[in-house]
Structure 1
Amino acid sequence: MRYFIELSYDGTDFHGWQTQPNGITVQACLDKALTTCFRQDIISLGCGRTDAGVHATQFYAHFDVFDLPEVTVVNSVTNVNSLLPYTIAIKRIFAVTNEAHARFDAIARAYKYHLHFEKDPFKINKSWLYKGELDFEKMNEAAQLLLNFTDFSCFSKSKTQTFTNNCKITQAGFEKIDGGLIFTIKADRFLRNMVRAIVGTLILVGKGDIDVLEVTQIIESKSRSKAGQSVPACGLYLVAVEYPFIQSRKN
């Protein structure tokens, strides 16, 4: 049977989600815990790939288990958690159809990017310390331009394995919090490095280095070199993944 597993993790000490030859990853830790718990080789498949240092308050993966009762698998959350580091937490495990796919069945994803303006030891590796003034209104004005486009090649890493750079963004904007800002963006899919590149470009607007309307020119250029630098990974969180067969719930 196929199962979905919902988890969250602090990405600080991981080299991203996906298993790789060198470096500890979330997927490698999860697969080892599942394999140990269910006493069979298990390889999970995640809803996406987060880069090194990126966090997730909601992440889904699917995996297959053979010859075990469903009740045994879904009630194994505590056991799996005991086999994982404290930086990874399993929320639930539930059965799905054998055709369900954590990556391809997702219809929307949402990210948040946190930045703060004053030195704070409790935000190390959890938010980006930005030293300077930013024009909040202009950044939000520029963020709304994103909703008018679908090709975001200018915000994608080159030489990726994707067949298209088209995404449909349905939400994008900054909100003020005590001592900082949070940028929220939601789309049907995201490209490699896309959110961090978008925030870096909007920061240029906030600094006054480029005008709001130049964001349109950057997107239309489809050139990564025209956009801003990627902001640090520490402030980025995957916060929601939506599926047509999973009822959303607050985290």
Structure 2
Amino acid sequence: MALSKKRYFIQLSYDGSLYHGWQIQPNAITVQELLDKAMSTYFRQTIETLGCGRTDAGVHATDFYAHFDVENINEEKVLKSVAGINAMLPYQIAAKTVIPVKDEAHARFDAVARAYKYYVHFEKDPFKVNRSWLLKDKLDVNLMNKAAEQLLNYTDFSCFSKSNTQTFTNNCKITKAVFEETDNGLVFTIQADRFLRNMVRAIMGTLVRIGKGEIDLDDFKAIIESKNRSKAGQSVPACGLYLVKVEYPYLV
């Protein structure tokens, strides 16, 4: 008896330094393009993945999900496909696991929370090139954390969104936003139910202005309430940004 079409999630991680983001684009190499080609070759049928979101050029992911459908292949073979898929992927992209899900499961719309980290280092380090942002300014981390706390009091983040996006709403529920100091560095962690395009990098750029003393907490609140992207800080470089967690109600 012929097997039917079945949906799966694939969990992966990637170093985005060499790629023009996740989503397939004309005239540019992307993570999705290479993943789809590898999986199509392995399963000997056209595979089209749909990711949990879009990461921009140069952005990394340690936890990323995409869903895909396969036809007429035994589930056991699909679940054991990780090694074969990895053999066809460049070393910057790694499949972690394949998970069977319901036919209506959706990697983007079913996600209930996402978390990003942004890494900063303050001294030249050849091992952090393209993986962290080198910033030589002195920063008031305590003040930056006070400002970051204010993000939890708002829902409309139009001021941090790239213009001309196709979203129906700029509302997000941020549940965590905090800076932690490390050896020769700083890590910003932010978690929300959803994020707008370029949102984390724009938030980080505005918080750095707080840390440098260019604006104060009242200015920061006014920027958010203005809903005007031109009022916020510049987007920081993509190299320091990582998608680190995506949560689904049906995955433990």
For the aligned pair, the TM-score class normalised by the smaller chain equals over 0.9
CA contact (8 A) 1:17 1:51 kept: yes
Letter in 2 for 1:4: F
Question: Quick check: 1:119 aligned with 2:119?
Answer: no
CA contact (8 A) 1:9 1:55 kept: yes
Q: Which ranges of structure 2 fall in alignment gaps of 5 or more residues?
A: 1-5
Residue of 22, 31, 38 corresponding to 2:36: 31
Q: CA RMSD in A?
A: 0.4
Q: Look up the match of 2:74.
A: 69
CA contact (8 A) 1:106 1:241 kept: yes
The correspondence of residues 165-180 of structure 1 with structure 2, limited to 5 A, is 165-180=170-185
**Per-residue Cα deviation, 1:33-65 (whole angstroms, up to 9, x for no partner):** 010000000100000000000000000000000
Residue of 30, 46, 49 corresponding to 1:44: 49
Q: Look up the match of 1:159.
A: 164
SS of aligned partner of 2:190: strand
The correspondence of residues 227-242 of structure 1 with structure 2, limited to 5 A, is 227-242=232-247
SS of aligned partner of 1:213: helix
- How many Å apart are 1:212 and its aligned residue? 1.5
- How many Å apart are 1:180 and its aligned residue? 0.7
**Per-residue Cα deviation, 1:130-185 (whole angstroms, up to 9, x for no partner):** 01100010000000000000000000000000000000000001000000100000
Which consecutive aligned stretches of 4+ in structure 1 deviate over 4 angstroms post-superposition? none
Q: Which ranges of structure 1 fall in alignment gaps of 5 or more residues?
A: none
CA contact (8 A) 1:18 1:26 kept: yes
- How many Å apart are 1:126 and its aligned residue? 0.3
Q: Look up the match of 2:13.
A: 8
SS of aligned partner of 2:115: strand
CA distance in 2, matches of 1:205, 1:97: 46
% same residue? 69
Letter in 1 for 2:234: Q
Q: Provide the TM-score with structure 2 as the length reference.
A: 0.98
The correspondence of residues 211-250 of structure 1 with structure 2, limited to 5 A, is 211-247=216-252
